[in-house]
């Protein structure tokens, strides 16, 4: 056997030993529990506060909308556009 072939064979054997050691170590490590996905901040918005303190301004805004819709029929041609 030539020197290069002998050296290559020794390197292969060393690599096999390292691989076997790494596999043994990997078998000892307990599996990590699955992690919850991080919140990307793209969830649904909070529902509006419908407490008594919020209803007053909301009722006023609805009254304003009800006054504008009849005077601009071209802008609100159907029920869908009125709801938007």
**Taking the model in full, what pTM does it have?**
0.35
CA–CA separation, 31 and 33 (whole Å): 6
pLDDT of 68 > 80? The answer is yes
Q: What's the pLDDT at 48? A: 62
Query: Which has the closest alpha carbon to 82: 60, 55, 54, 68?
Result: 68
Q: What's the pLDDT at 5? A: 80
Per-residue pLDDT, averaged over 67-81, amounts to 83
Residue located via tokens 């054997």? 13
Q: What does the domain layout of the chain look like in residue ranges? A: 1-30, 51-84
Per-residue pLDDT, averaged over 47-74, amounts to 76
pLDDT tens-digit readout, 12-26: 898 899 888 888 888
Q: How many CA atoms lie within 13 A of 67 on its CB side?
A: 6
């Amino acid at each position: 056997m030539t020197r290069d072939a002998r050296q290559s064979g020794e390197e292969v054997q060393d690599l096999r030993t390292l691989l076997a050691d790494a596999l043994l170590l990997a078998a000892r490590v307990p599996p990590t529990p699955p992690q919850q996905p991080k919140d990307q901040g793209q969830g649904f918005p909070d529902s509006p506060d419908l407490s008594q303190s919020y209803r007053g301004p909301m009722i006023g805004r609805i009254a304003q909308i009800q006054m504008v819709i009849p005077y601009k029929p071209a802008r609100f041609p159907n029920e869908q556009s009125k709801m938007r």
